[in-house]
Structure 1
């Protein structure tokens, strides 16, 4: 099955989608550092990027996708999120960086069987409710195009009238969206993002988001009962838990059925400390100590024995946002690029191009690879089932 990747960034979403069985025929990304990262891994033969088409800096708003019409099963991407980010200016539809119109145009021109788009949780805030509805309606009816003299609110009204007054005709999609916490799906990071999934109406596919497979209670259970600490070889005197989590754990009466949330220690515990053991750290790709970390209110870092806080893209007042580790002794240091890549579930042989602050921006904007794989694999299974039912297997 073929795919087109928009706003590819450092490649997290695209890698996951490739691992799920899709073959990208076009990769579109404007930022040259991101393109350099993809190109370096492509040259190095890193799977699955080695088989991707070339990634040269391109503006999606100036790219035509008509050559892919009817030939591509999936369109995916993360339209730039600054207009909706909690750390941005919240300009939304008044922000020139809002790339949702370009994403809708790509769907209109390619006519894929399905799409997967990702964005920040801030898009679902009450202040953006109307614009969120606007995005969903545009994705549902991508051929109902906004005219040059039409305000977006008027276009939304026209889309709503079409939605309520007509049976689906022309190009239409069944669209669902949900805020997912990556930690609930085995990612060692509390990362909440809104995911949009759509299937072309004529396929008749019924779909829902996969249920969570990991939980906080399961992690607390393992810690209170000692299993977690034993697995990591942590002495009893060093087994520190947040008092609220400890109280919650003592109230649990039976072991939760779901898997335990993965923690920062689970993700990076086998890597040498880059500050204490720089020579050993140098044997790992992109694993170099970055000085200058400090803690202050609102910027306290990620505890070692919980999932990491959301990695940020470095636009929140300090380089790298709050991308710090809290040591067991209370000290803090910045995550290395390799540690951050582990938290985003990139392969260990995947190199990141650019300075520390630049690569942290790439990682802070990325979709966790394993979460992308899980979602894309489920979407692909439903497409295969629809093909089989239609006699096109």
Structure 2
């Protein structure tokens, strides 16, 4: 068995990737470095929580763009992990063509590419919103093809899957796309070429099917049915040039796929889990433990929630004077405790349509921070404290809810970590 895999956690938030990997195997996955920085905020609360929870790693609290190539190169990380924002990934030739491409300033994916160039990790895990696969609206899949082309140019392969956490037993209907990225010179990658002829010019569908449905990391950890949604499948060969991918992409991208040697195969898969979703009633705290501040007795606020969750047909006027009707469908008046929660957003806890609105024993209330943490599979009170200038302080409820709206379901990362552990133990244990 491999001694350890050293991990760099980028866009670390309050440590969701690290929690998931620790739960998968704390002796194998060793997070040595992290980076967390919110450029729009004076206080760096997420960084301060991470620092409080993980004082044993080198936690870098500056803009990732300010981390030098020399600093990245000094990190002998075996893995890079992170959840980066969905942005416009379009690229163009630079005027002098020195580097070949010029991406939009501030697009954080290019910082991941820079780190990967400097570090050459064996594996990477990323998470993003599922709409990435269909962005932008006028050229669906283009942004994702740019990412695949960039990773292919660095000598990596990518397996991806859109996972709704509730489909695999968790307490939140949260759909996100997860990427398992591995270097092409690893024994595992060479095994795939030998078994599935992934390096051949033409690849039969049945080889792809066996990998995607049975043998791949996601297939083993998050099973899918051996049938396709509406029969959707596609094969595409990426260009060598990243600008060509940006300008000319015409392929399709579905919720499951594998990219090897610049070619990808993708299907629209259907989950096949024997794990029932965790209902909200299983994660809410006993009412005796709930502070009165989470209850809403103000009738005006109760009425406001009823309005926000109800159907709407509102006449509006656009900036150019055009009149139109804004329509919005109705929601249930309060959460069904027999179902898993809806996707949690950063506005959780405010008087907002997306806020989880509970009615228990004829009283209304919002989620507590602990319940929000449970929806993301964080330990209770994970975000309660931070450390600032050596002093431990409590974190506000508003920020704790913001953290969880930004976080991921840590048990999904745990499953991916277990899949990597199997690969390492079978193929890469001596490297």
TM-score by length of 1: 0.66
Post-superposition shift, 1:28? 0.2
Matched residue SS, 2:160: strand
Structure 1 equivalent of residue 126 of structure 2: 117
Post-superposition shift, 1:347? 0.9
Structure 1 residue aligned with 2:185, among 202, 213, 224?
202
Instruction: Give yes or no for the alignment of 1:363 onto 2:425.
Output: no
Structure 1 equivalent of residue 413 of structure 2: 372
Matched residue SS, 2:185: helix
Structure 1 residue aligned with 2:12, among 8, 20, 23?
8
Alignment check: 8 A CA contact 1:29 1:59 kept:
yes
Alignment check: 8 A CA contact 1:186 1:213 kept:
no
Structure 1 equivalent of residue 377 of structure 2: 345
Instruction: Give yes or no for the alignment of 1:272 onto 2:286.
Output: yes
Structure 2 equivalent of residue 212 of structure 1: 222
CA distance in 1, matches of 2:345, 2:273: 31
CA distance in 2, matches of 1:201, 1:8: 26
Post-superposition shift, 1:344? 0.6
Structure 2 equivalent of residue 236 of structure 1: none
Alignment check: 8 A CA contact 2:21 2:413 kept:
yes
| Bigger mean CA offset, 66-75 vs 10-19 | 66-75
| Bigger mean CA offset, 257-266 vs 106-115 | 257-266
* Root mean square deviation, CA, Å: 3.1
Structure 1 equivalent of residue 159 of structure 2: 176
Matched residue SS, 1:136: helix
| Bigger mean CA offset, 4-13 vs 348-357 | 348-357
**Residues 1:92 and 1:313: Cα distance change in structure 2 (over 3 Å):** farther
Instruction: Give yes or no for the alignment of 1:23 onto 2:18.
Output: no
CA distance in 1, matches of 2:57, 2:352: 29
**Residues 1:3 and 1:13: Cα distance change in structure 2 (over 3 Å):** same
Instruction: Give yes or no for the alignment of 1:52 onto 2:49.
Output: no
**Residues 1:201 and 1:257: Cα distance change in structure 2 (over 3 Å):** closer
Matched residue SS, 1:119: strand
Structure 1 equivalent of residue 151 of structure 2: 139
**Residues 1:350 and 1:320: Cα distance change in structure 2 (over 3 Å):** farther
Unaligned runs of 5+ in 2: 39-43, 91-102, 193-215, 226-271, 311-329, 386-394
Unaligned runs of 5+ in 1: 43-48, 84-90, 143-171, 216-255
Counterparts of 1:289-328 in structure 2 under 5 Å? Answer: 289=294, 291=296, 292=301, 294-295=305-306, 296-297=309-310, 302-314=335-347, 322-327=354-359
Higher strand share: 2
